[in-house]
Amino acid sequence: MSSTPLLEIKDLHLEFKTFDGVAKVLAGVNLTMQRGDVLALVGETGCGKSMTALAVPRLIPMPPGKITRGQVLFEGQDLLKKSPEEMQRFRAKHLGMIFQDPTTNLNPLFTIREQLIDAVLYQQHDANKVPSKRNFSSRARTMRKQANERAIELMNLVGIQDGEKRLSDYPHQFSGGMRQRVLIAMALAGEPDLLIADEPTTALDVTIQAQILGLIRDLVKKLNLSVLLITHNLGVVAKTCEKVAVMYAGRVVEESSVKDLFKNPKHPYTQGLINAVPTRHTPRRGLEGIPGLIPNLTQPPEGCRFHPRCPKVMDTCQQIPEARRLSAEHKVYCHLYEDAL
Protein backbone atom coordinates (compact mmCIF):
# COMPACT_ATOMS: atom_id res chain seq x y z
CA MET A 1 0.00 0.00 0.00
CA SER A 2 2.97 2.25 -0.25
CA SER A 3 2.48 3.37 -3.83
CA THR A 4 0.36 6.41 -4.55
CA PRO A 5 -3.13 5.35 -5.58
CA LEU A 6 -4.20 6.15 -9.14
CA LEU A 7 -7.27 7.94 -7.90
CA GLU A 8 -8.15 9.01 -4.43
CA ILE A 9 -11.25 10.95 -3.53
CA LYS A 10 -11.10 12.40 -0.03
CA ASP A 11 -14.03 13.79 1.92
CA LEU A 12 -15.67 15.25 -1.19
CA HIS A 13 -18.62 17.55 -0.53
CA LEU A 14 -20.80 18.83 -3.34
CA GLU A 15 -23.82 21.09 -3.13
CA PHE A 16 -26.42 21.96 -5.74
CA LYS A 17 -28.53 25.05 -5.63
CA THR A 18 -32.17 24.22 -6.38
CA PHE A 19 -35.42 26.10 -5.96
CA ASP A 20 -36.17 24.16 -2.80
CA GLY A 21 -32.85 25.03 -1.24
CA VAL A 22 -29.33 23.75 -1.30
CA ALA A 23 -29.13 20.01 -1.95
CA LYS A 24 -26.18 18.33 -0.28
CA VAL A 25 -25.57 15.92 -3.11
CA LEU A 26 -22.23 14.58 -1.92
CA ALA A 27 -21.45 14.64 1.78
CA GLY A 28 -17.99 13.26 2.34
CA VAL A 29 -17.26 10.75 -0.37
CA ASN A 30 -14.13 8.67 0.16
CA LEU A 31 -12.86 6.37 -2.53
CA THR A 32 -9.51 4.87 -3.50
CA MET A 33 -8.49 3.21 -6.73
CA GLN A 34 -5.17 1.58 -7.55
CA ARG A 35 -3.74 1.36 -11.05
CA GLY A 36 -5.26 -1.66 -12.79
CA ASP A 37 -8.38 -1.72 -10.62
CA VAL A 38 -11.77 -2.34 -12.15
CA LEU A 39 -13.96 -0.68 -9.59
CA ALA A 40 -17.74 -0.50 -9.59
CA LEU A 41 -19.50 2.42 -8.00
CA VAL A 42 -23.01 1.19 -7.37
CA GLY A 43 -26.14 2.76 -5.98
CA GLU A 44 -29.64 3.94 -6.75
CA THR A 45 -30.98 7.12 -8.31
CA GLY A 46 -29.81 10.23 -6.50
CA CYS A 47 -27.10 8.49 -4.49
CA GLY A 48 -24.46 10.67 -6.13
CA LYS A 49 -22.59 8.01 -8.06
CA SER A 50 -22.70 9.91 -11.33
CA MET A 51 -21.81 13.16 -9.61
CA THR A 52 -18.78 11.51 -8.07
CA ALA A 53 -17.77 10.25 -11.49
CA LEU A 54 -18.26 13.66 -13.07
CA ALA A 55 -16.32 15.38 -10.31
CA VAL A 56 -13.12 13.63 -11.42
CA PRO A 57 -12.96 15.24 -14.88
CA ARG A 58 -14.58 18.35 -13.36
CA LEU A 59 -17.58 18.20 -15.68
CA ILE A 60 -20.18 19.20 -13.10
CA PRO A 61 -21.86 22.44 -14.16
CA MET A 62 -20.92 25.15 -11.67
CA PRO A 63 -23.12 26.95 -10.85
CA PRO A 64 -25.53 25.50 -9.78
CA GLY A 65 -23.07 22.94 -8.42
CA LYS A 66 -20.41 23.83 -5.90
CA ILE A 67 -17.66 21.73 -4.33
CA THR A 68 -17.44 22.89 -0.76
CA ARG A 69 -14.82 20.57 0.65
CA GLY A 70 -12.53 17.69 -0.23
CA GLN A 71 -9.89 16.60 -2.69
CA VAL A 72 -9.75 14.61 -5.88
CA LEU A 73 -6.20 13.27 -6.10
CA PHE A 74 -4.92 11.76 -9.30
CA GLU A 75 -1.53 10.15 -8.65
CA GLY A 76 -1.20 12.51 -5.77
CA GLN A 77 -2.03 15.80 -7.49
CA ASP A 78 -5.25 17.58 -6.60
CA LEU A 79 -7.40 18.01 -9.69
CA LEU A 80 -9.60 20.57 -7.99
CA LYS A 81 -6.66 22.98 -7.85
CA LYS A 82 -5.98 22.93 -11.59
CA SER A 83 -6.86 25.83 -13.88
CA PRO A 84 -9.52 25.17 -16.54
CA GLU A 85 -6.84 24.96 -19.26
CA GLU A 86 -4.71 22.54 -17.27
CA MET A 87 -7.80 20.51 -16.57
CA GLN A 88 -8.75 20.35 -20.23
CA ARG A 89 -5.26 19.11 -21.04
CA PHE A 90 -5.46 16.63 -18.20
CA ARG A 91 -8.75 15.21 -19.43
CA ALA A 92 -7.29 14.81 -22.88
CA LYS A 93 -4.18 13.05 -21.68
CA HIS A 94 -5.23 10.90 -18.77
CA LEU A 95 -8.99 10.34 -18.76
CA GLY A 96 -11.50 8.61 -20.96
CA MET A 97 -15.23 8.77 -20.35
CA ILE A 98 -18.26 6.97 -21.68
CA PHE A 99 -21.80 7.84 -20.81
CA GLN A 100 -25.17 6.21 -20.60
CA ASP A 101 -27.01 7.11 -23.76
CA PRO A 102 -25.11 6.36 -26.96
CA THR A 103 -27.70 8.18 -29.08
CA THR A 104 -27.24 11.56 -27.45
CA ASN A 105 -23.53 11.44 -26.78
CA LEU A 106 -22.51 11.56 -30.42
CA ASN A 107 -22.98 14.79 -32.31
CA PRO A 108 -25.63 14.00 -34.95
CA LEU A 109 -24.38 16.50 -37.52
CA PHE A 110 -20.83 15.25 -37.96
CA THR A 111 -19.45 12.05 -39.40
CA ILE A 112 -17.85 9.51 -37.13
CA ARG A 113 -14.55 10.26 -38.86
CA GLU A 114 -14.73 13.95 -38.02
CA GLN A 115 -15.52 13.26 -34.38
CA LEU A 116 -13.10 10.39 -33.92
CA ILE A 117 -10.22 12.23 -35.60
CA ASP A 118 -10.83 15.25 -33.40
CA ALA A 119 -10.85 12.96 -30.40
CA VAL A 120 -7.48 11.53 -31.50
CA LEU A 121 -5.93 14.90 -32.33
CA TYR A 122 -6.94 16.65 -29.14
CA GLN A 123 -5.95 13.75 -26.95
CA GLN A 124 -2.59 13.16 -28.57
CA HIS A 125 -1.52 16.77 -29.00
CA ASP A 126 -1.76 20.03 -27.14
CA ALA A 127 -4.87 21.91 -28.19
CA ASN A 128 -2.92 24.81 -29.68
CA LYS A 129 -0.82 22.48 -31.81
CA VAL A 130 -3.83 20.87 -33.48
CA PRO A 131 -4.00 22.33 -36.99
CA SER A 132 -7.20 23.80 -38.33
CA LYS A 133 -9.02 21.94 -41.08
CA ARG A 134 -8.00 24.55 -43.60
CA ASN A 135 -4.32 24.19 -42.78
CA PHE A 136 -2.67 22.29 -45.60
CA SER A 137 0.95 22.44 -44.53
CA SER A 138 2.75 19.15 -44.74
CA ARG A 139 2.90 18.93 -40.97
CA ALA A 140 -0.85 19.37 -40.65
CA ARG A 141 -1.48 16.83 -43.36
CA THR A 142 0.76 14.29 -41.69
CA MET A 143 -0.97 14.82 -38.38
CA ARG A 144 -4.37 14.31 -39.91
CA LYS A 145 -3.21 11.28 -41.81
CA GLN A 146 -1.80 9.71 -38.67
CA ALA A 147 -5.01 10.53 -36.81
CA ASN A 148 -7.00 8.88 -39.56
CA GLU A 149 -4.92 5.74 -39.27
CA ARG A 150 -5.33 5.76 -35.54
CA ALA A 151 -9.08 6.13 -36.00
CA ILE A 152 -9.20 3.03 -38.19
CA GLU A 153 -7.13 1.17 -35.64
CA LEU A 154 -9.55 2.23 -32.89
CA MET A 155 -12.56 1.10 -34.89
CA ASN A 156 -11.01 -2.31 -35.19
CA LEU A 157 -10.08 -2.33 -31.54
CA VAL A 158 -13.71 -1.88 -30.46
CA GLY A 159 -14.86 -4.57 -32.84
CA ILE A 160 -16.54 -2.62 -35.63
CA GLN A 161 -16.27 -4.49 -38.89
CA ASP A 162 -15.14 -2.50 -41.93
CA GLY A 163 -14.25 0.30 -39.57
CA GLU A 164 -12.54 2.22 -42.32
CA LYS A 165 -15.66 2.35 -44.47
CA ARG A 166 -17.98 3.09 -41.58
CA LEU A 167 -15.94 6.13 -40.53
CA SER A 168 -17.73 8.10 -43.23
CA ASP A 169 -21.14 7.33 -41.75
CA TYR A 170 -23.18 9.58 -39.51
CA PRO A 171 -24.15 8.50 -36.01
CA HIS A 172 -27.77 7.84 -36.91
CA GLN A 173 -26.63 5.18 -39.35
CA PHE A 174 -25.33 3.10 -36.44
CA SER A 175 -27.33 0.97 -34.03
CA GLY A 176 -27.24 1.71 -30.31
CA GLY A 177 -24.64 -0.93 -29.51
CA MET A 178 -22.43 0.23 -32.38
CA ARG A 179 -22.63 3.82 -31.23
CA GLN A 180 -21.52 2.81 -27.77
CA ARG A 181 -18.54 1.08 -29.39
CA VAL A 182 -17.70 4.28 -31.25
CA LEU A 183 -17.87 6.22 -28.01
CA ILE A 184 -15.56 3.73 -26.36
CA ALA A 185 -13.16 4.19 -29.29
CA MET A 186 -13.25 7.96 -28.81
CA ALA A 187 -12.61 7.64 -25.09
CA LEU A 188 -9.64 5.36 -25.69
CA ALA A 189 -8.12 7.48 -28.47
CA GLY A 190 -5.39 8.94 -26.26
CA GLU A 191 -4.66 5.76 -24.28
CA PRO A 192 -6.07 7.10 -21.02
CA ASP A 193 -4.87 6.00 -17.60
CA LEU A 194 -8.39 5.82 -16.29
CA LEU A 195 -11.64 5.00 -18.06
CA ILE A 196 -14.76 6.27 -16.36
CA ALA A 197 -17.89 4.52 -17.62
CA ASP A 198 -21.14 6.06 -16.41
CA GLU A 199 -23.94 3.48 -16.80
CA PRO A 200 -22.54 2.39 -20.18
CA THR A 201 -25.10 -0.34 -20.81
CA THR A 202 -28.24 0.97 -19.13
CA ALA A 203 -29.81 2.20 -22.36
CA LEU A 204 -29.06 -1.01 -24.24
CA ASP A 205 -30.86 -4.31 -24.74
CA VAL A 206 -29.71 -7.31 -22.72
CA THR A 207 -27.97 -9.04 -25.61
CA ILE A 208 -26.21 -5.81 -26.59
CA GLN A 209 -25.34 -5.15 -22.96
CA ALA A 210 -23.61 -8.53 -22.88
CA GLN A 211 -21.63 -7.57 -25.99
CA ILE A 212 -20.49 -4.24 -24.58
CA LEU A 213 -19.57 -5.65 -21.17
CA GLY A 214 -17.62 -8.36 -22.98
CA LEU A 215 -15.79 -5.68 -24.96
CA ILE A 216 -14.93 -3.76 -21.81
CA ARG A 217 -13.59 -6.92 -20.18
CA ASP A 218 -11.46 -7.62 -23.27
CA LEU A 219 -10.10 -4.10 -23.36
CA VAL A 220 -9.20 -4.23 -19.69
CA LYS A 221 -7.10 -7.30 -20.39
CA LYS A 222 -5.63 -6.08 -23.65
CA LEU A 223 -4.78 -2.51 -22.65
CA ASN A 224 -4.30 -3.01 -18.95
CA LEU A 225 -6.96 -0.36 -18.29
CA SER A 226 -8.12 0.98 -14.98
CA VAL A 227 -11.89 1.36 -15.01
CA LEU A 228 -14.35 3.16 -12.77
CA LEU A 229 -17.72 1.70 -13.70
CA ILE A 230 -20.81 3.48 -12.47
CA THR A 231 -23.95 1.37 -12.46
CA HIS A 232 -27.16 0.65 -10.61
CA ASN A 233 -27.21 -2.95 -11.77
CA LEU A 234 -25.74 -5.43 -9.32
CA GLY A 235 -25.64 -8.05 -12.05
CA VAL A 236 -23.33 -5.86 -14.11
CA VAL A 237 -21.12 -5.40 -11.07
CA ALA A 238 -20.88 -9.13 -10.50
CA LYS A 239 -20.12 -9.81 -14.16
CA THR A 240 -17.55 -7.09 -14.81
CA CYS A 241 -15.72 -5.81 -11.75
CA GLU A 242 -13.33 -6.94 -9.06
CA LYS A 243 -13.90 -4.22 -6.51
CA VAL A 244 -17.03 -2.36 -5.59
CA ALA A 245 -18.10 0.68 -3.60
CA VAL A 246 -21.74 1.08 -2.62
CA MET A 247 -23.15 4.59 -2.34
CA TYR A 248 -26.23 5.84 -0.56
CA ALA A 249 -27.50 9.43 -0.44
CA GLY A 250 -24.18 11.12 -1.11
CA ARG A 251 -21.79 8.86 0.76
CA VAL A 252 -19.93 5.62 0.19
CA VAL A 253 -21.33 3.14 2.71
CA GLU A 254 -19.34 0.04 1.90
CA GLU A 255 -16.20 -0.84 -0.06
CA SER A 256 -15.10 -4.36 -0.76
CA SER A 257 -14.05 -6.94 -3.28
CA VAL A 258 -16.99 -8.00 -5.41
CA LYS A 259 -16.88 -11.59 -4.20
CA ASP A 260 -16.89 -10.59 -0.58
CA LEU A 261 -19.64 -8.07 -1.02
CA PHE A 262 -22.12 -10.51 -2.51
CA LYS A 263 -21.21 -13.31 -0.14
CA ASN A 264 -20.93 -11.22 2.92
CA PRO A 265 -22.65 -7.82 2.67
CA LYS A 266 -22.29 -5.86 5.88
CA HIS A 267 -24.07 -2.56 5.57
CA PRO A 268 -27.84 -2.93 6.05
CA TYR A 269 -28.36 -0.91 2.87
CA THR A 270 -26.12 -3.24 0.86
CA GLN A 271 -27.98 -6.21 2.27
CA GLY A 272 -31.30 -4.64 1.34
CA LEU A 273 -30.09 -3.83 -2.14
CA ILE A 274 -28.92 -7.36 -2.81
CA ASN A 275 -32.14 -8.85 -1.48
CA ALA A 276 -34.21 -6.57 -3.65
CA VAL A 277 -32.98 -8.15 -6.88
CA PRO A 278 -34.94 -11.24 -7.87
CA THR A 279 -32.59 -14.15 -8.63
CA ARG A 280 -33.34 -17.69 -9.64
CA HIS A 281 -33.36 -18.62 -5.98
CA THR A 282 -35.96 -16.07 -4.91
CA PRO A 283 -39.20 -17.90 -4.09
CA ARG A 284 -42.57 -16.46 -5.11
CA ARG A 285 -43.50 -13.55 -2.88
CA GLY A 286 -40.05 -13.81 -1.34
CA LEU A 287 -38.68 -10.53 -2.60
CA GLU A 288 -37.72 -7.92 -0.05
CA GLY A 289 -37.79 -4.24 -0.88
CA ILE A 290 -36.23 -1.58 1.25
CA PRO A 291 -39.09 0.23 2.97
CA GLY A 292 -39.32 4.00 2.76
CA LEU A 293 -37.95 6.49 0.28
CA ILE A 294 -34.59 8.03 -0.49
CA PRO A 295 -34.16 11.17 1.59
CA ASN A 296 -34.67 14.70 0.33
CA LEU A 297 -31.10 15.95 0.01
CA THR A 298 -31.97 19.52 0.88
CA GLN A 299 -32.83 18.26 4.37
CA PRO A 300 -30.89 15.04 4.73
CA PRO A 301 -31.19 12.96 7.90
CA GLU A 302 -28.58 13.61 10.59
CA GLY A 303 -25.77 11.15 11.03
CA CYS A 304 -25.96 8.01 8.94
CA ARG A 305 -28.22 8.98 6.08
CA PHE A 306 -29.70 5.51 5.87
CA HIS A 307 -30.93 5.33 9.45
CA PRO A 308 -34.58 6.34 8.83
CA ARG A 309 -34.96 3.29 6.57
CA CYS A 310 -32.62 0.96 8.46
CA PRO A 311 -34.06 -2.16 10.11
CA LYS A 312 -31.17 -2.19 12.63
CA VAL A 313 -31.23 1.46 13.60
CA MET A 314 -29.65 2.41 16.97
CA ASP A 315 -29.17 5.61 18.94
CA THR A 316 -25.59 6.03 17.72
CA CYS A 317 -26.85 6.27 14.13
CA GLN A 318 -27.44 9.99 14.77
CA GLN A 319 -23.68 10.34 14.32
CA ILE A 320 -21.88 10.02 11.02
CA PRO A 321 -20.26 6.58 11.05
CA GLU A 322 -16.49 6.32 10.57
CA ALA A 323 -14.94 3.77 8.24
CA ARG A 324 -14.61 0.34 9.89
CA ARG A 325 -12.00 -1.93 8.35
CA LEU A 326 -13.26 -5.49 8.45
CA SER A 327 -10.42 -6.84 6.33
CA ALA A 328 -7.72 -5.44 4.08
CA GLU A 329 -10.24 -5.01 1.31
CA HIS A 330 -13.53 -4.63 3.12
CA LYS A 331 -14.57 -1.31 4.62
CA VAL A 332 -17.99 -0.42 5.96
CA TYR A 333 -19.40 2.86 7.25
CA CYS A 334 -21.81 1.57 9.88
CA HIS A 335 -22.04 1.69 13.67
CA LEU A 336 -22.90 -2.00 13.84
CA TYR A 337 -19.31 -3.02 13.30
CA GLU A 338 -15.94 -2.61 14.99
CA ASP A 339 -12.55 -2.28 13.35
CA ALA A 340 -11.13 -5.77 12.86
CA LEU A 341 -7.67 -4.62 11.91
Report the alpha-carbon distance of residue 121 to residue 144 in Å, rounded.
8
Assess 95 for contact with other proteins (CB under 8 A).
Answer: yes
Burial of 270 from C-beta contacts in 10 A (0-12 / 13-18 / 19+): buried
Shortest reach from residue 300's CB to other proteins, in Å: 15
Among 89, 131, 264, 308, the residue binding other proteins under the rule CB under 8 A is: 89
Among 180, 209, 256, 270, the residue binding other proteins under the rule CB under 8 A is: 209
CB distance 268 to 310 below 8 Å = yes
Assess 310 for contact with other proteins (CB under 8 A).
Answer: no
Q: Tell me whether residue 44 or residue 75 sits nearer to other proteins (CB atom).
A: 44
Shortest reach from residue 338's CB to other proteins, in Å: 26
For other proteins (CB under 8 A), the number of binding residues is 80
Look up residue 18 and give its DSSP letter.
Answer: E
Shortest reach from residue 135's CB to other proteins, in Å: 14
| Residues β-bridged to residue 31 | 9
Q: What is the contact mask toward other proteins in residues 281 to 300, using x (rule: CB under 8 A)? A: -x-xx-xxxxx-xx------
Contact region with other proteins (CB under 8 A), list: 23-31, 66-74, 85-93, 298-306: 85-93
Contact region with other proteins (CB under 8 A), list: 146-154, 201-209, 298-306, 321-329: 201-209
Contact region with other proteins (CB under 8 A), list: 6-14, 25-33, 119-127, 314-322: 119-127
Assess 83 for contact with other proteins (CB under 8 A).
Answer: no
Among 239, 320, 323, 325, the residue binding other proteins under the rule CB under 8 A is: 239
Q: Tell me whether residue 32 or residue 180 sits nearer to other proteins (CB atom).
A: 180
ω before 64 within 30° of 0 (cis)? yes
Helices (H), 158-175: 163-166
Q: Can you spell out the DSSP letters for 179-208?
A: HHHHHHHHHHTT--SEEEEESTTTTS-HHH
What count of Cα atoms within 13 Å lies in the side-chain half-sphere of residue 264? 11
CB distance 297 to 47 below 8 Å = no
